[in-house]
Amino acid sequence: MQNAPAAPTAPEDAAAPGMRIALVCDYSLEYLGGAQSAFLDQVRIMRERGHAVTVIAPISGAAGAKGAAGAAAAKGAAGTGGAAGTDGAAGGVDAWANGPGGAVTVAARVRLAGVDLPVVRNTARLRARLHEELYARGIEVVHLHSEFGLSAAAVAAARELGIPTVQTVHTFFWQAPMPRAIGVLAAAAVRGFTRWLRGFAAGHESLALRPLDSALRNVTLSMGSRVDAVISPSAHQAERLRAAGLAHVHTVPNAIALGDAPGEALPADAATGPLRIVWVGRLVPEKRLLEFVDAVVSAAARLGPGALEVEIIGEGPLRAEARQRAEAAPAGTLRFTGRLPRLQVSAAMRGADLVALTSYGFDNQPMTVIEALHAGRSVLYVDPALTEGLEACGILASHTPAGMADAIVRLAEHPDEVVDASARAVVAAREFDPDVYLQRVRTVYAAAAARALP
């Protein structure tokens, strides 16, 4: 076995500039969800500030078996300057191979139906390959953004080399509603599948009322127990993780890479025309799009034609039903623009008065909040557990369609509330500055290095 690279000997070493970091994600980078967006933003933030970040992620088909550049080429790539030239758009792991640190691609010939999860199993062959890659690249910390087979293999390889490990938990609030009898069977299937995938079992702790939700949360929890430090982007999720038994949990809110974003955002002007709202997200039940559309239809009926304009940005299985329900509103009230690149999303937010976030009991720390604040816009939200950025400038409403409709009518009739909240959003955005984020993450790396020391 190869000798391990020199491990950090003190916490301050782990916080030094120019670190060599491996960021690991089980999810496909060929499309963007919230976890992928946060992951790729971290890659860019770190690379732009002088760190060599090796992206380790799955790639579709047999092409991934060839991997990225070999160990010698990887060491050369770590010396190249510049960041991955993208604004965070999807494009696969290969799109990130040319930045400092390069990339390691792992073949995923199968995707799990329904959730589009690449199936990468923790095998001896994969562990050996990652051991070689981590050693050759002189990796100083392995940072996971997921909890499946690739992450399990990366942790095992890092342990062999004495490299500190960190996991960012993007959701501990898995939701899979179904009849209880089916849920019990599905939970057993999840436990069996993830044990086969990762090589170790998840626990059987009671972490949610529904059996399948509980099983999925145990998958996350069991990975968190195997790393040296856990990051939660939100305080309320951190509390739940600690209550479930994880001791080394740090709250570090997400940030976005500002590289190609427009200049500094200005607060919304006094609303003299219709109240303009942007809703951004996947068109899926947990985001509660249909409830929001119903609220908009109700509010528009009370306000009258021309008083409200709502743009829905995103794609998903609820699109057809949402459009059908939207037909009950006056013409021009609701429009669906599909998935847009981040810069266009930012432009849409800056052109609106307010951003809506309608999930309840599901989200950890939505990237939509940070994007809204950097666009200088407040957020109309319904989940009081979400506090990062929202305590300072968010507008809280009831999570029911009637409650959301009441809030929309009030804001349309009293636009000064929207303008005041927008001014506070410009200030609140500083909390999610990339440099602030990086400083906090490096502190966690230092804590992980201290725990990993022999």
In a domain, 267, yes or no: no
| Of 72-86, 268-282, 399-413, minimum mean pLDDT range | 72-86
Kindly state whether residues 348 and 300 are assigned to the same domain.
yes
Give ∠ CA 69-75-80 in degrees, rounded to 5. Answer: 95
Kindly state whether residues 372 and 445 are assigned to the same domain.
no
In a domain, 5, yes or no: no
In a domain, 268, yes or no: no
Tens of pLDDT, residues 156-197: 999 999 999 999 999 898 877 778 788 899 999 999 999 999
In a domain, 358, yes or no: yes
Kindly state whether residues 88 and 220 are assigned to the same domain.
yes
CATH number at residue 414: 3.40.50.2000
- In the three-class reduction of DSSP (H, G, I as helix; E, B as strand; rest coil), residue 354 is classed as strand
Give ∠ CA 72-77-79 in degrees, rounded to 5. Answer: 110
In a domain, 213, yes or no: yes
Kindly state whether residues 293 and 153 are assigned to the same domain.
no
Kindly state whether residues 211 and 127 are assigned to the same domain.
yes
Provide DSSP, 256-294: ---TT--S---PPPP--S-EEEEEES--SGGGTHHHHHH
Alpha carbon 128 to its chain centroid, in Å, reads: 29
Q: pTM to 2 decimals?
A: 0.83
Kindly state whether residues 196 and 220 are assigned to the same domain.
yes
Q: Domain total for the chain?
A: 2
Tens of pLDDT, residues 278-294: 999 989 998 999 999 99
Kindly state whether residues 286 and 407 are assigned to the same domain.
yes
Q: Percent of the chain, pLDDT > 70?
A: 87
In a domain, 337, yes or no: yes
Kindly state whether residues 288 and 206 are assigned to the same domain.
no
What is the DSSP secondary structure assignment for residue 429, as one 8-state letter? G
Kindly state whether residues 127 and 63 are assigned to the same domain.
yes
Q: Which of 212, 190, 184, 213 is nearest to 202 (CA)?
A: 190
Which pLDDT belongs to residue 365? 87
Tens of pLDDT, residues 323-382: 999 999 999 999 999 989 888 999 999 999 999 999 998 888 888 999 999 999 999 999
Kindly state whether residues 186 and 76 are assigned to the same domain.
yes
Kindly state whether residues 423 and 446 are assigned to the same domain.
no
- Cβ atoms of 4 and 138 within 8 Å: the answer is no
Which pLDDT belongs to residue 248? 94
Kindly state whether residues 244 and 297 are assigned to the same domain.
no
Spatial separation of the C-alpha atoms in residues 437 and 43, rounded to whole Å: 12
Residue 287: domain span: 275-432
Which residues are within 8 A (CB) of 267 and not within 5 positions of it... i.e. 6 or more apart? 376, 419, 422, 423, 425, 426
In a domain, 262, yes or no: no
In a domain, 6, yes or no: no
CA dihedral (363, 199, 161, 247) positive or negative: positive
- Cβ atoms of 162 and 136 within 8 Å: the answer is no
Spatial separation of the C-alpha atoms in residues 434 and 42, rounded to whole Å: 9
pLDDT bin (cut points 50, 70, 90) of residue 40 is very high
Q: What is the mean pLDDT of residues 57-71?
A: 55
